[in-house]
Amino acid sequence: MKSLIHGILIVACLVAVQQPVFAEEQENVEELAERLIELGQMDATMEQMSDAMLTEMRNLAAQAAETGKSDVTPEQLAEVEAIMRDEMATLRREMIGPMEDMLIAFYKDNFSRDEMVELVEIYSSPTFQKQYRYMPELTGKLVHLLQGYDAAHRGRLRERLEALKAKYDQD
């Protein structure tokens, strides 16, 4: 009988002890998700990407002006750039909260606490942080590269669609 009572007491103690630990782990998961977002430098990355987009816009405007394909004055270009900077800053302010909420939910839904601890360790490493610092530059280069392909693709697409239209116009 004493063994049964001891066994029940031990089980009761284990259950009682596990409840706060579970609540603490759940809170810890939220903190881990927030730490992952912080390590991802989302706001800085968004700012660097918008800067890369503005730089690309300036480069395209300069190329258009050099080839005579644009009559936009430097003053007009400065006004457009100011509007774009303002809109991008507004977008970052408005989107940062919803993006963080979405990312926290994503991490909580898809990663265990142990996996999140491991991710924090990986994201905290100097090598990963270096990669994050270069990511906006790489993204800007990719955007520039893709814009060249996009222009060529649009030209080919337009030619093919015009040929198709001509085919049906003949029928």
Q: Distance between CA atoms of 47 and 44, rounded to whole angstroms? A: 5
pLDDT tens digits, residue range 36-64? Answer: 888 887 777 777 777 777 777 777 777 77
* Domain limits for position 97: 2-170
Indicate the angle between helix axes 113-124 and 126-170, nearest 10 degrees. 100
Question: Domain tally for the chain?
Answer: 1
Residue 41, SS3 per DSSP: coil
Q: By the 8 A CB rule, do 34 and 104 touch?
A: yes
pLDDT at 112: 93
Which SS3 state, helix, strand or coil, does residue 1 take? Answer: coil
Q: What is the pLDDT of residues 104-125, one digit of tens each?
A: 999 999 999 999 999 999 989 9
Q: pLDDT tens-digit profile of 90-106? A: 877 888 888 889 989 99
Residues 28, 54: Cα–Cα separation, whole Å: 39
Which structure tokens are listed for 135? 């990511």
In tens, the pLDDT along 75-91 reads: 888 888 888 888 888 87
